[in-house]
Structure 1
Amino acid sequence: MNQDVVLKMSLSRRPELKASASGKTSIVYGPFDGGEYITYDSSQNSPRGFGVRVGKTGKSYIVQRAINGKVTKWVVGKVGDLTIDEARDKAREGIQISIKHGVTPTKVERERAANELTLGDCFDDYKSYLVKRNPPAKENSLLSMAKGRSKFKDWDDRKVTSLSSKMIVDRFDALVPAGRTAAEAACRWANAAVNRAIKVEAEQAKSQRRDPTLEYNPFITLKTQEMYRTRAQLAQDYKRKGIRNPMDPMDNLGKWVQAVWNKKAANPTGADFLLLTLLWGMRKTEASQVKWRHRIDAAEAAHSSWVDLDKRKVYLFDPKNRSDHELPIAPCALELLRRRDEEGPGRVSKWVFPARSSRSATGHYSDCNSLLKYVREEAGIDVLRPHDLRRTFGRIAEDLGFPYSTIQRLLNHVRMADSTVSYSEQSWPRLAERMERLEEAILGTYPVALAALRPVASAEPSTNRANLAP
């Protein structure tokens, strides 16, 4: 067999040896319609069992022979990628590997590949998994992982199997002084990436009927040695650093609502945004992307967050926990929204909170930090971050004595798979009543705002806002 013979082989033409009357043999190509076939190379310089397989998807060099009493077969390479001489040399190397290990060289290579995975390989594969999974990871999660990976940049080319527990602990200790939260996050990302590699290797090994070559995750030592903070320790650290600061309805909440209300004339969009973010208990990025349902079509509504004034409902599409969320709109929030729709600066925009500049990349309001700073200073509050509005909402729900399942539902902490917390259509009125109680408790800390937004028909409060007991 030579290169010319290999190139002429096809599904419709199969080479055959034909003897002439004088006894001389030559290669002829007869018609063939029997599907794929293998032609073995009988050349003296060819290893035994080497040949060419012709199939529907192309031609490949293969080896099929008994190794240690067991018939094995593997692909050496594609005909288009190797000459026949190169394929013979590669086949000889593969046969030696097969004799040494008792399995095909392909299997040896697969096992070696898993055993030689670097930490960088694990991060690359994990990122690809997060992007391609359904649903894909949020951009913030990918950014967080990238920051975590940067803490191990010098280990990108280091094999996972070469990482010892001591190395992991030493690296963790070195990262902590710059920020314990960042150090824990980085190591958790690395742990998740390696776990993913171990899982993939286990599945591949099972399908190939071999033992996995990557089974141990060295980052597990941080959990084993209890180096991560517990929930109680996290809570203490947050309190000490002032990271979580829900407002107190009996102290500074009323001052904050008043300060926001005073900003409505100068910055109606920003003030309304802060008020509704609090009244809905939403994350800043969730509230900012809400659109008017009556100003978008059904196709856009299917993948957008919106408020429906007629149905008195706010809907969040694909929030942080990937579970779509909807809440009833209580009377005061509804009145505020109707005024925005009829008279507000965004009355021609699809966004409930449109951006001030027409050159905005997103089109919607996105940065409340400056306004929040002025409001905080006016209210005499030392520390207050946007997410503290959501924490305030949750705190007041607890003060009102709402069941834990209700608070989970209001904050969208309920997972779709959680069958213990189920809200039917019949429960919507109950949820609406509790949203109204929350609204009364929040705005009641500054009666001027409550009176200005409460519809005339609801002149008398349905609950005693001075008393947060259920």
Structure 2
Amino acid sequence: MEGKQSRRVALTATMVKEQLSIARIPVIGATGKIVKFAPNAEQKRYVVFDAHRDAPVGFGVAVNRTSMSYILQRRVGARVMKATIGNCRDIPLAKAREDAKAALEAMRNTGRTPAEAREVSKGEIHVASMTVAECIALYRKHLVERAQPAKDSSLRGLEQALRRLGRPGVDLANQKVGDLVTEKRILEAFDTLARGKRALVTGTKRANPDTKAYERPTITTAELTFRWASRAVDYCMTRERRIAANAGRAPSLQTNPFQVLRDEGRYRTKKQLEEHYEATGARNPLQLRDGSLGRFLEALWEKRKVPNHRTACDYLFLTLLWGTRRGEAAPLRWRHRITKEEASVCSWVDLEAGWVSFFDTKNGTTHTLPLAPAARRILVLREEASQEAASPWVFPARSSKATQGHYLDSKAILEGLKKNGGIQELRTHDLRRTFATVAEEMTSYAVVKRLLNHRDLRDVTGRYSRVDEDRLLEELTRVESAMLRSAPYVAVAALPV
């Protein structure tokens, strides 16, 4: 009974510090003074409200088992609001009364308790006063915590952009976004980065001594870097607009200052990009007609005869036969060596069912393909050779101490294959372009799109057409056969008898 009753008395400092206790409950007489103390056998929390003329109505002391706190409990509009003013040991009684008055005024003005106001303050952002680095950090947090987290490659790209923005001559990372509204700094920084050239880290040397990459301006790097910065600021501005609208204030910025790069034509158009790719030889699919695909396959098969190179060669061979993106085939596991739960969150090969599944690809979907004859044969050979080790990886790393556990980088072996095959330029992604080039000659647009796992929500026709499994295997087998026929010796060796 006593535990739930509230009581009202003119509090004094002595009363707060020496008389009130969880062990006993004050009994207030008709004159508004304490007449005695009753035992608090159950040690229930109770509140003594302050009747002093300097105290706002609803101010008092809450006596708890472990501490005593000044509180304020008051109806504001249709709602009863509660606020903790502070610990009785830390704040003098007179100051607590003044703090309670200020808290009451704030609750009346904002319609929030101090705790609610602090919570809003945690999420409150003013983009104009944030640095570019702070915007990128907040954007990165969003990319990691959203329902579909960003891929590691995207996060690495964002981190690289931040490092470039902090370079001497660029110096934007620690600049406040609000200080960039004149836009001159952004334009100058972009031009500085775009005119620059690649530099080697001290103590390293070029992987390919013949590459021309170090002689070309890094305009692509500048575009990627500043697009990341622009997206980060856009995200923060959108978030601030929501918060500002609910708080009844104007956002600190009206326009993203990085928009000037697009408005002033610093980013290249699609036509300019295509011309750039053509001039720099950035896209180099191997061709059936000029013999480059055949020479590559012959060089690959010869290199495959060396046991130490077999994993790398099989990886490149299957990347070509499947037309996968760089890195999609590398983390494949054997389906029969992993659990059902693991199979739902990783890439795998199922020899018994005749399917390969690539988990969480670039467009966020899982991509599946049937196993055509040559691909199946290579996988069967790999599975038989790995039975003793019982590794879950289709392409295990050479070292058992490798962090990722599977094969990763094909740059070095690709350089050797280029030289042996008499091929001028070739990147791992060019194998996917090679697959697409051959497939485009062999089958329909809908099948090519399905084989490459290309999805475009604006393509209405693509949403209507469906490629059934039997036809998919038939067409994939035709594409595989067409590529292998460019190197008859490899076709005989790779295709099952």
> Take 1:15 and 1:156, find their aligned partners in 2: how far apart are those partners?
61
Map residues 340-379 of structure 1 onto 2, 5 A cutoff: 340-343=382-385, 348-379=390-421
| Cα distance, 1:439 vs structure 2 | 0.5
Query: Residue 238 in 1 paired to residue 238 in 2?
Result: no
1:81-100 aligned at under 5 Å gives the runs: 83=91, 87=96
Write the deviation string for residues 103-160 of structure 1: whole angstroms up to 9, x where unpaired.
Answer: 9897799499533333333222211111111221112211111111223345555433
Q: Is the 8 A contact 1:346 1:354 kept in 2?
A: no
How far is 1:161 from its partner? 2.5
Determine if the alignment matches structure 1 residue 149 to structure 2 residue 162: yes
- Structure 2 distance, partners of 1:289, 1:215, is 45
Asked whether the 8 Å contact 1:123–1:190 carries over to 2, the reply is yes
* Comparing 246-255 and 425-434, the one that deviates more: 425-434
Q: Which residue of 1 aligns with 2:486?
A: 445
Matches within 5 A, 1:59-138: 61-62=71-72, 75=83, 79=87, 83=91, 87=96, 110=121, 113-115=124-126, 116-138=129-151
- Gaps of at least 5 residues in structure 1 are 457-470
1:307 partner SS? strand
Aligned CA distance change for structure 1 residues 78 and 394 (closer, same or farther; 3 Å): farther
Residue 36 of structure 1 deviates from its aligned partner by: 11
Kindly state the Cα deviation for residue 377 of structure 1 after the two structures are TM-superposed: 0.3
Cα gap change, 1:337/1:98 in structure 2, threshold over 3 Å: closer, same or farther? Answer: closer
- 1:408 Cα shift? 3.0
Deviation at 1:73, TM superposition (A): 7.2
Q: Residues 264 and 91 (structure 1 numbering): CA distance in 2 closer, same or farther, change over 3 Å?
A: same
- Over residues 319-362 of structure 1, what are the superposed CA-to-partner deviations in whole Å (9 max), with x where a residue is unaligned? 23321111111112112222222346987432222222333333
How do 1:267-286 and structure 2 match up within 5 A? 267-286=309-328
Structure 2 match to 1:185: 224
C-alpha displacement of 1:291: 1.4
Q: Cα offset for 1:287?
A: 0.9
* Counterpart in the other structure of 1:319: 361
Q: 1:163 aligns with which of 170, 177, 180?
A: 180
**How far did residue 258 of structure 1 move?**
0.8
Aligned partner (choices 174, 180, 201) of residue 240 of structure 2: 201
Alignment CA distance shift 1:193-1:344 (3 Å): same
Say whether residues 1:435 and 2:476 are aligned partners: yes
1:429 corresponds to which letter in structure 2? D
Q: Distance in 1 between matches of 2:89 and 2:486?
A: 77
1:161-201, Cα deviation, whole Å (9 max, x unpaired): 23212222222222212222222222112212122212222
Report the TM-score, using the length of structure 1 for normalisation. Answer: 0.79
SS at match of 1:342: helix
Contact 2:418 2:425 in 1 (8 A): yes
SS in 1 for 2:417: helix
Mapped contact 1:323–1:415 kept (Cα < 8 A): no
Partner of 1:460: none
Q: Residue 346 of structure 1 contacts residue 353 of structure 1 at CA under 8 Å; is this kept in 2?
A: no
- 2:237 is equivalent to residue 220 of structure 1: no
Conserved? CA contact 2:46–2:62, under 8 Å: yes
Q: Residue type matched to 1:322 in 2?
A: G
Secondary structure at 1:327's aligned position in 2? strand
Q: Distance in 1 between matches of 2:325 and 2:388?
A: 21
Q: Note the residue ranges of structure 2 that are not aligned, 5 or more in a row.
A: 1-10, 197-217
1:410 aligned partner: 451
Q: Using the aligned pairs only, state the percent identity.
A: 35
In structure 2, how many angstroms separate the alpha carbons of the residues matched to 1:370 and 1:143?
22
Larger mean Cα displacement after TM superposition, 421-430 or 317-326: 421-430
The letter for the 1-side match of 2:492 is A
> 1:392 is aligned with what amino acid?
T
Alpha-carbon distance in structure 1 between the residues aligned to 2:392 and 2:56: 72
Equivalent residue number for residue 464 of structure 1: none
Q: Is this contact kept in 1: 2:131–2:177, CA < 8 A?
A: yes
Corresponding letter in the other structure for 2:189: R
Q: Secondary structure at the match of 2:369?
A: strand
Contact 1:40–1:49, Cα closer than 8 Å, also in 2: yes
The reply to whether residue 260 of structure 1 matches residue 300 of structure 2 is: yes
* Aligned twin of 1:382: 424
CA distance in 2, matches of 1:355, 1:27: 80
- Opposite residue 412 of structure 1, the aligned amino acid is N
**Alpha-carbon distance in 2 for matches of 1:395, 1:72:** 71
Please give the secondary structure, in 1, of the residue aligned with 2:327: helix
Structure 1 280/161 Cα, relative in aligned 2: closer, same or farther at 3 Å? same
Tell me: CA distance 1:390–1:426, structure 2 relative to 1, closer, same or farther (3 Å).
closer
Instruction: Return the letter of the residue paired with 1:231.
Output: K
1:286 aligns to what SS in structure 2?
A: coil
Q: Counterparts of 1:194 and 1:74 in 2: how far apart (Å)?
A: 37
